[in-house]
Amino acid sequence: MILHFELNEVTKKLPKHLHKFVVKQPYEEYTAQNQAVWRYVMRMNVEYLSRVAHRSYLSGLEKTGISSENIPYLEGMNRILKEIGWAAVSVDGFIPPNAFMEFQAYNVLVIASDIRTIDHIEYTPAPDIIHEAAGHAPIISNPEYAAYLRRFGEIGSKAISSSKDYEMYEAIRLLSILKEDPHSTKKEIKIAQEKVEYLQNNMGELSEMAQIRNLHWWTVEYGLIGTLGNPKIYGAGLLSSIGESTWCMQKQVKKLPYTIDTATINFDITKPQPQLFVTPNFAHLSLVLNEFANTMAMRKGGIKGVRKLINSENLGTIELTTGIQISGIFTKVIEHMNKVAYFQTIGPTALANRDKELISHGITNHAKGFGSPVGKLKGINLPIEDMSPRDLKAYGIYEGEQKTLEFESGIVIRGRVITGTRDLRGKILIISFDNCTVTHKDEILFESDWGIYDMVIGKAVVSAYAGPADVNSFLELGKVSETKTPKISYSNKEQLLNKLYAEVKNMREENTSTNKKITEIFNQLKTQFQLDWLLILELYELALQNNYMIKSAILQKLEQLKNNKSFTRLIENGLVLCKKH
């Protein structure tokens, strides 16, 4: 696989299964108009956010190497980010939530490589480089917030999804792509919007992943910090939206204290948020995150944890009291006294201890699934996991012995003991049998002609979480969406407009503008591109700075364009910025 990112101290730690989500930053595809959109949004943001954003924002822009003048090269950002222990990689729009969280757990920001079009300059439903680079990156220069973000990734990547969550992810991804693509039809958008709304109304009980995505949205994306009466912005969605960063400070947007209850409050990515949540400080974010983690199957385990994995229909892991971990797709659980008595996976399964796959217990050894009893033997108070080698021999559980083990749950194992597998501390983890049958009442769980039977040891399930214990056990983990962000094709007229944007950009950067050049481009815009307000604004900026005669005519044109309600606030804000600078 070709790597589309530089390996450094941070990115070289990324598991290989995450590499498939990384794409090459298409820097050569950014048009001069794209660059102008970046410049306009960033200059507006710096001007306005200097008053309403958390104090880490402005200093963070400098620390992360983000300039208002040009879309950043990720290679350049990475050389600076690694100084604070982070990195950034380019991806195609939304990626699956578990993968997104896992990148974050490795101190890697995923940055959508596309940039919003001029039609969505104030807000875009699709993640873009303004949102990711200029929204997320600056705040991670704050050490306490960076630690929260990494910890959120660690916990979030273990959150169990429901079978409907991936369908919702794909629906939202498609809708965001269609809304940002200028060539999408109203019918396409309407159909995609209706599907998202239908799924939102029919998700059933919120999964762990759905809840932790809510926490992520109301903090990392749309969070406010400080007091309810005077909050500051730190969420990337607000920091990157010149529309919502202004809107969110209005009284009609409710400001509520941030608590664990926000895990149950859903959001709509296509609309401004009706309420926002305020944390008193970054330390409080970590307290709420830990409070939520205490509700997750990752920390509670048990029968409910295994059932969550079964309902997810995705790869997950359970851990028993001995520390042995079983990773696979769970399909069945037998219950006894409200506890797990037996579990079953289907397809490739791996066994591990302390997040390291056990030798001879990878997916090739357990290619067709894995099942094992959990709990204590009937009539014996001492659990197998607490038995010493002498105890095991006393109870007849040793190599070469034909043995029948009956569990309190009614699970019965009959077979010849071959060997045992222990951890470094000597605790028994697996007992292997041949010529073995496993039954529960009249149900046959394992036949003797199926081969060697490995029984894992543990009296209870103490943890259940999404993904594998050892990331190297399942190299094909994670699925890249088949819905791709389309590359915008430009008409001859649009290419000509981009050429004019490039000329103005070069004049500004090389200080080669003249009244004649500005006038020529202005006249061309008036006749061929009557509704392009942004380039006329850039021409006015140059004319004003150099006191060219044409400045009055350009200003008059801008005043005319302001009559179009879509441009009014954008032009007014731009004029204020021109006069200040």
Blockwise average pLDDT, block size 10, the chain, 581 residues: 74 90 92 95 88 91 88 88 90 88 93 88 80 86 94 96 86 86 88 88 87 95 95 91 84 95 86 90 97 98 97 96 98 97 98 96 96 96 92 90 95 95 90 96 95 96 97 83 82 95 96 96 95 96 95 96 92 89 68
Residue 380: per-residue pLDDT: 93
Residue 362: per-residue pLDDT: 96
Q: 185 CB contacts (<8 Å, ≥6 apart)?
A: none
Do residues 149 and 104 touch, judged by C-beta distance below 8 A? yes
Sign of CA dihedral 475, 166, 109, 354: negative
Q: Give which of 567, 577, 580, 575 is closest to 44, Cα–Cα.
A: 577
Residue 409: per-residue pLDDT: 96
Alpha helix ranges (H) inside 202-250? 208-216, 236-239, 244-247
Q: Which two tokens stand for residue 180?
A: 């940002």
Alpha helix ranges (H) inside 181-281? 186-201, 208-216, 236-239, 244-247
CATH class of 11-291: mainly alpha
Do residues 433 and 456 touch, judged by C-beta distance below 8 A? no
Residue 467 DSSP label: S
Q: Which two tokens stand for residue 490?
A: 């430009």
Region for 429 from its dihedrals, namely left if φ exceeds 0, alpha if ψ lies in -120 to 50, beta otherwise: alpha
Sequential DSSP letters for 476-506: T-S---S-PPPPPP--HHHHHHHHHHHHHHH
Dihedral (C-alpha) 195, 196, 201, 202: value to the nearest 10 degrees?
70
- Rounded to whole angstroms, how far apart are CA atoms 561 and 530? 9
Q: 496 CB contacts (<8 Å, ≥6 apart)?
A: 528
Q: 390 CB contacts (<8 Å, ≥6 apart)?
A: none
Residue 299: per-residue pLDDT: 97
Tell me the C-alpha to C-alpha distance, in Å, between residue 261 and each of 20, 212, 256, 266, 383: 35, 11, 11, 11, 40
- Rounded to whole angstroms, how far apart are CA atoms 61 and 441? 66
Q: Which two tokens stand for residue 387?
A: 């038995």
- Rounded to whole angstroms, how far apart are CA atoms 223 and 148? 13
The burial class, CB within 10 Å (0-12 / 13-18 / 19+), for 70 is middle
Q: Give which of 315, 328, 123 is closest to 237, Cα–Cα.
A: 123
Residue 66: per-residue pLDDT: 87
Q: Which two tokens stand for residue 40?
A: 């306009």
Do residues 305 and 318 touch, judged by C-beta distance below 8 A? yes
End-to-end CA distance of the chain: 48
Q: 7 CB contacts (<8 Å, ≥6 apart)?
A: none
- Rounded to whole angstroms, how far apart are CA atoms 139 and 144? 10
Type and span of the H or E element at 173: helix 165-180
Does residue 24 sit in helix, strand or coil?
A: coil
Q: Which two tokens stand for residue 506?
A: 């070069």
- Rounded to whole angstroms, how far apart are CA atoms 430 and 55? 54
Q: What is the pTM of this model?
A: 0.88
Q: Which two tokens stand for residue 100?
A: 């997104």
The burial class, CB within 10 Å (0-12 / 13-18 / 19+), for 339 is middle
Centre a 10 Å sphere on the Cβ of residue 117 and count the other Cβ atoms it contains: 18
Query: Phi and psi (nearest 5°) for 531?
Result: -105, 5
Residue 1: per-residue pLDDT: 58
- Rounded to whole angstroms, how far apart are CA atoms 549 and 555? 11
Q: 302 CB contacts (<8 Å, ≥6 apart)?
A: 339, 340, 460, 461, 464
Q: Which two tokens stand for residue 374?
A: 């959990």
- Rounded to whole angstroms, how far apart are CA atoms 526 and 553? 11
Measured in residues, the chain has a length of: 581
Residue 579: per-residue pLDDT: 82
Residue 2: per-residue pLDDT: 67
Q: Give which of 235, 33, 232, 53 is closest to 118, Cα–Cα.
A: 33
Centre a 10 Å sphere on the Cβ of residue 367 and count the other Cβ atoms it contains: 11
Do residues 227 and 280 touch, judged by C-beta distance below 8 A? yes
Q: 331 CB contacts (<8 Å, ≥6 apart)?
A: 310, 344, 345, 346, 369
Q: Tokens 């032009």: give the residue.
A: 571
Q: Give which of 92, 103, 84, 87 is closest to 6, Cα–Cα.
A: 87
- Rounded to whole angstroms, how far apart are CA atoms 423 and 322? 9
Where do the structural domains in the chain lie, given as residue ranges?
11-291, 301-473, 492-580
